[in-house]
Structure formats: structure tokens, C-alpha cells
Amino acid sequence: MKRFLFFILTLGLLFSSVKEFNLDGRVFKLKISARGAELLENGVLIKEGGRNSYYIYPYICADKVNILTLIYTDKNYVLYKNSSPVLSSHQELYSPRGICFQGKEIIVVGKGRKLLVIQGNNFQEISPIFNGVLLNPRFNHKDGDLFLLFNELWRGVILRRKIKFPFEQKTLIEKELRFPPSGPFWYNYELEPNTYIAFGDSITYGCGYGTCDHDPPIGYPSRLEILLNKDLGESHVLNRGVPSETTFEGVQRISSELSLANARYLLLMEGTNDVVHAEYPLSATEENLRSIINKSMGYGTLPVIATIIPRTDWFWYHEYFHQKLLDTVKLQRKLAKEYSLPLADMFKLFMDYPGGWENLISDGNHPTTEGYQMMAEEWEKAIKTIPPYPPYDIKTSVLPGFLTLSWKGGGESDLVGFYICKNEVCVDLGLRYSLRISYDELQGTYEIKSYDKEGNESQPKTLIFH
């Protein structure tokens, strides 16, 4: 979310824009330019924010205009009301809102995956029902009552929430659209499509022939990127290999890599360096790999699992270490099956090589250039089995006699089109992003699915009309 906000900020600062809005009959203009943000009333400047100010929100209380300004500086968020700080946090703040209701001034701001309600010096947290992401908080008052409206996104489920003042934890569902999630993974549409984190050790980095000092590295990431660009459209494979890394060290850096790369896919090949440490039990490797997988899936980045490769140094011929390597391969296959993740079985690829797998190892444990090329091709095979993201942001609009459905695609470069199915009868829409349905034909269950160049179909989005 933070990277997304900064992207929006940067884009907004490149171009001047003016938003005009009305508060209790008073006209205000919010100007965004390369200099920052300015709030004006009748052409008079009443608030200015610098380049790092990416949110200004005004509201009126007792005929006075109060301005909430959210600033991000040095990895710290600060929320100001007028010129006074209200809240400082290392955790992400977003979407501040303020209102004056029945003489009480109320501020709400998103904080991480919670909403924080501020009344004077009192702070109250509102947590999501399903540990989802809270979006677009806003106030609404009707018939003397005050409500807080917001959306909760959880594993592809969009829940529109309505909470009555004084914002007790009891939540009333105003409207609910349920889409079937696919296991623990959730679709994070803010992540970059066609972007892959190559995460692992020196084999990922691209060492070989006794050195890691190859410029550019000879490993599989750059080779895979060439293949993907040719076969699936413009793609980016980010080399995040660290020579000599164990799975324990991988756990320590996975969160920062996920945050920095903002990629939809993680290519996970790690465990070779666990094998050569006698004191490193297989149970620790399993715990660490599970942690990396869970962190990735919780971020919305889909892991693709690879088995480690055989080696020609003395560890291969030592009974204990040889068995430990084989057990690690079995573990990686088990995890891919358990989590229903794509598997690139590099161990089998090498062992089945007609010319003898030993000829694919350059220096004991790193592949030759031919071996790396074969690995890139095996990664691509696994990637091609990944289905596209489901359609999202499904909307309806009403015309006389008709209802129009519209949606967005996931942004994959190999997206071919959409199927819409009614009562299990499907129609290929190609790359159409809307469909008009007459009221006479409307009743029933509809599913909308994406499909890609390889024929993979996404999870369906289900809509039921009664």
C-alpha cells in the first residue's frame, strides 16, 4: 500500500491538477502541483503542504475550516490537524477523515490494517472482521445518526461495512459481495503483474566455475526474463539471490524484499546451504521454508517452489549429507503439493539429463551455463501453469430494460479474454470488459473468469441475481 500511495503521489506531482468541492455551501479548491498541495477558499490560500505531503482533507466544525494533513517523512507518518500533530506512527497511515457531529469532533484514519477513531485524546481501534485490508473510510449521517462506512478486502472478498456511532465493535453489513477465495493466498491487485522475485542463494545469484564474480551473473534470472518476454509478453525477473544464504537468513529478509519489489510472484529456491550444515536439522529448514511461503502468500505474492539440485563435491558422496539433500528435495515437493503451488523440479531435471547430470555442474554445486539455461526453461514451464488473476472491481449499471456488468482484468501481459457462465453454460467474451443483460434473462447464477494464452482459467467471480 505504501508503495502504491507513493506512486500515486509521484504521478500527481508530475502534473498540476485542481479539485473543487463544496463544504456546507463554501467552495474550496485543492491544487496539486510540482510544488506540493494547496488548499484555497475563494482563491485565498488557507493551507499549503510541501512535496512530501500527499494527503490534505478539510472539514468544517463550528464554522471553522479544519485541515487534516498526512505527511510521510523518513519512514514515519505524521497526521496534522491544522498545524498541530495529532498522531505519529511508523505504521502506515492513510485516508484521514474528519467530521463535526452534534458538537463532537471525530477523526478517523487508517492505520495498517485497522481504522483508528480519534475523539479528543481518546483513541479507539476498529479491527477488520477477517483480518483484511480496510479501504475508503468515510462518514455518513442520516436521521440524526452518524455512520462510518468502509470496505474490507479479504482474500478476494469485498465487504462493505456500516458502523453506527459511537462505533462499537459490532458491525452491521450494509452490502456484501462474496467471491470464493482460493486457500490462504489472496489476490493483491496492487502488485506488479508479470514481475517475479528470484529468491535464493548463490545458485539464484548466478555463481559458477569457481566464482560469483560474473558480470552479468550467469544464473537463470536473466535467461528466464528473455524467455518470458518472448513467450508471455513483457516481464521482469528480479535477481534477489544472496550467495551462501541459508533458509534462516532468507526468512530474515523476505519481508523487505516483498515490500521493495512489489511483485506478484516469488521464485523460491533455497535449502542447498542448509544441507551442508550438520547442525541444521531438516525440521528447521521446513519451518523456515513455511515461514517464507506464508509471508509471501500473506502479502499476496504467489510462490513458485523449486527443488534443489544435486552436487558433485564430497557432500554428495557422504551418506549423511547425501540423505539430507534427498530429504530436502522431498520436503520441497511436499510443500508445493500441500500449498497447491507450482513446482519447478530442478532435481529431477538434472537427474534425468541424458548427457549425465554431473556434466551440468561446473564446480561442485553450481550449474554450468547449460544447466542454468535448462533451469530457466523449467521455471518457465512452471510459470506457464499459473492461472491469471480473477476479474475484479465488478460493477453494475442500470438502463431501461437492461443491466450492464463491467469489470477489470488482472493486467497480465498474456491475458486473452474472459468467460461468462450462466448456470454452467459459458460464453467467450474475448477482451470485452462489460456485458449487457436484459432483465428478462437476468435471474440466475453468473460466473466471470479470466483465461490466458496457455488456457489457464482464473478462479471465478460469482454473482447471484434473484
pLDDT in tens, 4-27: 333 333 333 333 456 665 655 666
Report residue 248 CA to chain centroid gap: 24
Together in a domain, 410 and 452: yes
Contacts of 418 (CB under 8 A, 6+ apart): 391, 407, 409, 428, 429, 430, 431, 432, 433, 448, 449, 450, 451
Helix ranges, 313-437 (H): 314-317, 319-338, 346-351, 369-383
Considering the domain boundaries, does residue 163 fall inside one? no
Residues 71, 5 contacting (CB under 8 angstroms): no
Span 29-58, average pLDDT: 63
Span 188-192, average pLDDT: 90
Considering the domain boundaries, does residue 152 fall inside one? no
Torsion of CA 270, 273, 274, 275, to 10 degrees: 110
Per-residue pLDDT for 165 more than 80? Answer: no
Considering the domain boundaries, does residue 135 fall inside one? no
- Domain finish residue from 126, 142, 172: 126
Q: How far apart are CA 331 and CA 328, in angstroms?
A: 5
Per-residue pLDDT for 365 more than 70? Answer: yes
pLDDT at 235: 96
What is the share, in percent, of the chain residues with pLDDT greater than 70?
Answer: 80
Per-residue pLDDT for 28 more than 90? Answer: no
H or E, element range at 226: helix 220-231
pLDDT at 171: 38
Considering the domain boundaries, does residue 120 fall inside one? yes
Considering the domain boundaries, does residue 181 fall inside one? no
Together in a domain, 315 and 456: no
Residues 27, 20 contacting (CB under 8 angstroms): yes
Together in a domain, 331 and 396: no
Together in a domain, 91 and 227: no
Kind of pairing between the strands at 461-465 and 444-452: antiparallel
Q: Strand pairing partners for 208?
A: 211
Of 53 and 205, the one with more pLDDT: 205
Give the per-residue SS3 of 384-415.
CCCCCCCCEEEEEEEECCEEEEEEECCCCCCE
DSSP assigned state of 374: H
19-28, 376-385, 449-458: segment of lowest average pLDDT: 19-28
Together in a domain, 371 and 397: no
Together in a domain, 436 and 316: no
Considering the domain boundaries, does residue 30 fall inside one? yes
- Domain finish residue from 383, 406, 421: 383
pLDDT at 251: 92
Span 120-148, average pLDDT: 74
Measured CA distances, 364 to 57, 109, 311, 316, 370 (Å): 61, 56, 6, 9, 15
Considering the domain boundaries, does residue 319 fall inside one? yes
Together in a domain, 240 and 364: yes
Q: How far apart are CA 208 and CA 362, in angstroms?
A: 6
pLDDT digits 0-9 by tens, 211-227: 999 988 999 999 999 99
Confidence of residue 196 (pLDDT cuts 50, 70, 90): very high
Together in a domain, 297 and 400: no
Confidence of residue 144 (pLDDT cuts 50, 70, 90): confident
Span 260-285, average pLDDT: 93
Q: How far apart are CA 349 and CA 309, in angstroms?
A: 9
- What CATH number did the domain enclosing 249 receive? 3.40.50.1110
Domain count, the chain: 3
> What global pTM score does this model have?
0.63
Burial class of 144 by CB neighbour count within 10 A (0 to 12, 13 to 18, 19+): exposed
Residues 459, 182 contacting (CB under 8 angstroms): yes
Give 395's Cβ-side CA count (13 Å radius): 9
pLDDT at 67: 79
Kind of pairing between the strands at 192-200 and 263-269: parallel
Confidence of residue 279 (pLDDT cuts 50, 70, 90): confident
125 phi and psi, to 5 degrees? -95, 140
94: containing domain: 2-126
Measured CA distances, 213 to 182, 208, 435 (Å): 42, 9, 55
Considering the domain boundaries, does residue 165 fall inside one? no
